Amino acid sequence: MSKEKDDNYWRERLTPEEFHVCREGGTERPFSGEYWAHFEDGLYRCRCCGEVLFDSESKFESGCGWPSFDAEAKAGVVAEQQDYSFGMQRVEILCANCGCHLGHVFPDGPTATGLRYCVNSLSVQHDPEREEGADKE
């Protein structure tokens, strides 16, 4: 996972809210993000580096207030690490390319994968064009 860029680099490119979630591991309030009830066709890219992380075909309504997906767009684009913050044991998910905090993954999804990737809207951008080659950087 590449984390070569420092905080100053990201502060210049992200809003304060995006920086807090993406680079400091913050969480947006449930039912407040732009994509929690968004179900248009397309790809969901990392807000920081543009990597394709999720496909709208794997998105589902989980009732949790954050965008939820049952699979990553392709194996290896989402990294996982243990998160013991707030007295809980969870699995944090990050962009494997740049280390952007995405949210958490839970083993309670209603689909065949059994997974629920619970993602902050501020961590991703919807791309309706489905062009996988374009990166943000």
- The SS3 assignment for 10 reads helix
98 annotated ligand-binding residue: yes
Cα–Cα distance between 80 and 57 in angstroms, integer? 22
How many CB atoms within 10 Å of residue 83?
15
- Is 22 annotated in some ligand binding site? no
Q: Is 46 annotated as a binding residue?
A: yes
Query: Is 118 assigned a catalytic role?
Result: yes
Is 49 labeled as ligand-binding?
yes
- Looking at 22, 48, 100, 118, which residue is catalytic? 118
Spell out where 1-137 has E strands: 43-46, 52-55, 59-60, 68-69, 78-83, 90-95, 101-106, 116-119, 124-127
Instruction: Name the binding residues for Zn(2+).
Output: 46, 49, 95, 98
Instruction: Name the binding residues.
Output: 46, 49, 95, 98
Catalytically active residues, by annotation: 118
